[in-house]
Amino acid sequence: MPLTTDTTSAQNTTATTKTARAAAEEDCEAPEKQTLSPSSADGDTIRAIKNREGEKRKLIVGVDQNSYRWGYRNPNSGKTAELEGFDIDLVRRIAEDILGDPDAVQFKAIPTDQRIPAIKDGRVDMVVRTMTINCDRIADVAFSAPYFKTGQQVLASKSSPVKGYDDTLAGRRICTAAGSTAYSTLEADKKDGGLPASTDISTTVPNQLDCLVRLQLGEVDAVVTDGALAASQAAQDPTVQLKGDAFTAEYYGVAMKKDADDLVRRVNQILVDYRKDTANGWQASYDQWLSATLGKDAKKSEPPAPQYLRTS
């Protein structure tokens, strides 16, 4: 059967998109700008989600359940079975747009180092889990435009002589989550001399909250993680505090399969609308969940205006 004009056009668009993405990956300098332009159109990926039958007709999303105010079970809410937080609000907004119901979500709690495998293996449709967009990861998964800005920071006991990401880390034991941006940054800095040679970065854990426990037990001297997460951990434990300023600039994105172009475009359209919604959008979620730990000035955490790959 000969190809229709629509089919040929779709194939050409897909080929052009793949070419643009491959070129961007090869010359990766600003990974947060390497995403597809917004669209509300349904494609194969979204249709497959909508065609799930009965109770299975849900968006399957990998999240955290232990990150305070991001994705966690609030013991004080009376609804300990329900997840809450900034990331969870975004997930529900995506589900509402695609399936017409903010509760049409199957949450899957996954550790930090399983975020990419869960996407590639098809266990989840997407991951919304304080996941930094970086050049290594865009080789494996596709990202939305950024939805949050943060940076790596040091967390340590208030009485600790550690002052930040500097020479005071010499001889200190640092904890990071396996598969995290923090660990890859520390590993690179150890090799390049940007971190004291005597700094011990061998302690890694499956989930970021485990680092706080190690710090509380005295098994490590400091934690390195995203400042946004570190601030939430400091709010949970008044004996620890952020040390020094953020030493990187990073952006969280929604991660999806590489070939799920229609889903990536749809999520990007949702993010555009989410940021414009002053009543129930990005700002309202920030005010509810993060202003107490990160401050009322949300501008510091707002991602830049999105930029998209040129595919034509």
Taking only the tens place, the pLDDT of each residue in 233-266 is 999 899 999 999 999 999 999 999 999 999 999 9
Q: What is the rounded CA–CA span in Å between residue 49 and residue 52?
A: 6
Superfamily of domain 152-243: Periplasmic binding protein-like II (3.40.190.10)
On the question of pLDDT at 12 being above 50, the answer is no
Distance (Å, whole) CA 264 – CA 24: 16
- Which pLDDT score is estimated for 310? 81
Rg, C-alpha atoms of the chain: 20
What is the dotted CATH code of the domain comprising 31-149+252-291?
Answer: 3.40.190.10
Write out pLDDT tens, residues 277-307.
999 999 999 999 999 999 999 999 999 899 9
What pLDDT sits at residue 54?
85
Q: Name which of 64, 65, 67 is nearest 289 in CA terms.
A: 67
Distance from the first to the final alpha carbon of the chain: 28
Say yes or no: do domains 31-149+252-291 and 152-243 share a fold. yes
Domain limits, the chain:
31-149+252-291, 152-243
**pTM of the full structure:** 0.89
Mean pLDDT of the chain: 91
pLDDT for 9 beyond 50: no
